[in-house]
Amino acid sequence: MEAQPTMNCFATLLLLSAFVYTASAVTHYSIPEEMEVGSVVANLAADLGIDVQTLGKRKIRLDILANKKYLDVNKDTGDLFILERIDREYLCISKTVCYLKMEVILENPVRIFNIELEILDINDNAPHFRRDTINLDISESTAAGERFSLSNAVDPDIGSNSIKGYHLSDSANFDIEIQTGRDGSKFADLILKKSLDREEQAIHNLILTAVDGGVPARSGTASIIVRVLDTNDNAPQFDKDSYTINLTENAPIGSLVVKLNASDKDEGTNSDLLYSYSLYTSEKTQQTFSLNPNNGEIRVKELINYEDFRIYDMEIIATDKGANSLTGKCKVKILITDMNDNHPEISIRSVTSPVKEDVAVNTVIAVVSVSDKDSGENGQVDIHISADLPFALKESSDNYYELLVSEPLDREKLPEYDITITVTDRGNPPLSDNETITLELLDVNDNVPQFPQTFYTIPVMENNAPGASLSSITAVDPDLHENQYLVYFIIEKEIANTSMSMLFSINPENGNLYALKTFDYEIEKDFLFHIEARDSGVPPLSSNVTVHIIIMDQNDNTPLIVSPWRAQGSEVKETIPRSTDKGTLIAKVIAIDSDSVHNSRITYQFLQNTDATLFSLDQYNGEIRTMRMFSYRDSRDQRLVVIAKDNGEPALSATVTIKLSTVETALKTYTEVPLEYDIFSDLNLYLVIGLGSVSFLLLITILVTIVLKCQKAKPSKAAPPSRNSVISERNSTIADSTLVSNDAYWYSLFLAETRKGKLVVRQPVPKGARYIVSSIPRSTGLTETSDSAASTLQASTTTSSSST
Same domain, 185 and 251: no
- The CA distances from residue 94 to 32, 90, 118, 155, 363, in Å, are 17, 9, 15, 11, 117
Beta bridge partners of 654: 644
Count of domains forming the chain: 6
- The percentage of residues in the chain with a pLDDT greater than 70, rounded to a whole number, is 80
pLDDT tens column, 302-313: 998 876 788 999
Region of 94 on the Ramachandran plot (φ > 0 left; ψ -120 to 50 alpha; else beta): left
Residue 75 domain boundaries:
6-120
pLDDT of residue 307: 67
pLDDT of residue 58: 83
pTM: 0.40
pLDDT of residue 765: 36
Residues 6+ apart with CB under 8 A from 135: 225, 227
Asked whether residue 755 is assigned to any structural domain, the reply reads: yes
pLDDT of residue 496: 56
pLDDT of residue 375: 67
Residue of higher predicted confidence among 615 and 677: 615
pLDDT of residue 65: 65
Region of poorest pLDDT, from 423-437, 572-586, 715-729: 715-729
Same domain, 92 and 192: no
Asked whether residue 724 is assigned to any structural domain, the reply reads: yes
Q: Which of 292, 317, 337 is the last residue of a domain?
A: 337
Confidence grade of residue 521 (pLDDT, cut at 50, 70, 90)? confident
Confidence grade of residue 244 (pLDDT, cut at 50, 70, 90)? very high
Asked whether residue 324 is assigned to any structural domain, the reply reads: yes
Same domain, 313 and 407: no
pLDDT of 763 higher than 60: no
Q: What is the mean pLDDT of residues 80-86?
A: 87
Asked whether residue 68 is assigned to any structural domain, the reply reads: yes
pLDDT of 239 higher than 70: yes
Asked whether residue 520 is assigned to any structural domain, the reply reads: yes
pLDDT of 36 higher than 90: no
CATH of the domain at 172: 2.60.40.60
Region of poorest pLDDT, from 268-277, 492-501, 563-572, 765-774: 765-774
Please give the sequence-ordered ranges of beta strands (E in DSSP) within 362-500, or none if there are none: 364-371, 381-385, 391-397, 400-405, 416-425, 432-442, 455-461, 469-472, 486-490, 494-495, 498-499
Confidence grade of residue 390 (pLDDT, cut at 50, 70, 90)? very high
- DSSP annotation of 754 reads -
3-state class (DSSP) for residue 495: strand
Asked whether residue 752 is assigned to any structural domain, the reply reads: yes
Least Cα distance to 764 among 698, 733, 798, 719 occurs for: 719
Same domain, 73 and 137: no
pLDDT tens column, 636-688: 888 888 888 888 888 888 888 888 888 886 544 333 333 333 444 455 566 77
- DSSP annotation of 254 reads T
Asked whether residue 623 is assigned to any structural domain, the reply reads: no
pLDDT of 627 higher than 80: yes
Same domain, 429 and 462: no
Q: Which of 499, 530, 552 is the last residue of a domain?
A: 552
The Cα 760–Cα 334 span in angstroms is 124
Asked whether residue 628 is assigned to any structural domain, the reply reads: no
